[in-house]
Amino acid sequence: MMSGWSVIRIATILVYLFLFAPVAVVILLAFNANQFGSFPIEGFSLRWFEALWNNDAIVRAFKTSLLLGLLTAAISTTLGTLAALAMVRYDFPGKRTISTLLVAPILIPEVVLAVALLLFLQFLSMPKSFGLLLMGHVVFTLPFVVLVVQARLVSIRRDVEEAAMSLGATPVQTFFEVTLPLMLPAVMAGMLFAFTISFDDITGTLFWKPGGVETVPTQIFAMLRNSISPEINALGAVMVIFTIALPLVAASIARVMAMRKTGTTK
């Protein structure tokens, strides 16, 4: 008889397969030469990637997503880092309420958040626009940045800052010379998180986007609804590679930076 542990191990492998097999199939089909881009596999081809590259709508969607993601990450990380600093470094009355308020955008279903923001801005006679998309994405990603930065900030010791101040640095100098370099990995992590969430968002984006503007996810969604075009797997593959490569590259940059830093202090 099999031991309980090996049953658990096999079940775990099956769950991992369940999580990754469908995505692996997307990537597999993206390289399939078959003229409908579906099964059976008929050989290796890059034709679907070429088709993607030549599809103006998709290239435009990609640019929109990229711009939106970068702007969201920049704004959200700036706001979120400041808030996280306040939450970790200071005690003040009403801290619990503030902490709930900061994560409120996660606690509210995204659909409701999307409706509220859309209708409020329409009431103020602001039309659907890229600006609305950006505002929505900032609100929606802000709590994630606050949580991620807060979690890492706790481990930065206060004494280093106090040492700098006792050596005559002003609070502003201390922040830029000591605190910011130390919390850079946390800030980068928050930024990456915000970018990926924004780049991937569809629930809110479908409400907020003006007609004619598509992001990559809404473009995929539109392609799914019209007719399943074979390019879709290639687009999926690009997106998977993009969103997985990004954190890996960021992680290795962080490692190189950390190594260089310890190298100079030696």
Partner 1 sequence: MAADAAGARRTPWMLLSPSLATISLLLIVPMLFIVVYSFWLRTATGADQVGFYFDNWIEVLGDRFYRDILFQTLLIAFYTTVICALVGYIPAYFVANTRMKSKAFLLLLLMLPFWISYIIRTMSWINILGTSGALNTLFLSMGIIDDPIQMLYNQQTVVLGLVHYLLPFMILNVYVSLDGIDKNLTEAAKSLGCTGFQAFREVTLPLSMPGLAAGSLLCFVLAAGTYITPIVLGGPRDAMFANLVFEAIVTQLNWPLGSALSLVLLALLGALVVIYTRYLGIDQIAKSFK
Nearer to partner 1, 42 or 50 (CB): 42
The contacts of residue 233 (CB under 8 Å, 6+ apart) are 26, 27, 29, 30, 32, 37, 48
Distance (Å, whole) CA 81 – CA 194: 12
Distance (Å, whole) CA 152 – CA 88: 10
Nearer to partner 1, 44 or 90 (CB): 90
Distance (Å, whole) CA 262 – CA 104: 39
Minimum distance of partner 1 from residue 70's CB (angstroms): 17
Nearer to partner 1, 7 or 256 (CB): 7
Task: Tokens for 59, please give them.
Answer: 């290239």
Nearer to partner 1, 51 or 240 (CB): 240
The contacts of residue 222 (CB under 8 Å, 6+ apart) are 214
Minimum distance of partner 1 from residue 60's CB (angstroms): 17
Distance (Å, whole) CA 116 – CA 102: 17
Minimum distance of partner 1 from residue 245's CB (angstroms): 10
CA 129 to the chain's CA centroid: 21
CA neighbor of 65 nearest in space, from 190, 213, 245, 233: 213
Nearer to partner 1, 154 or 261 (CB): 154
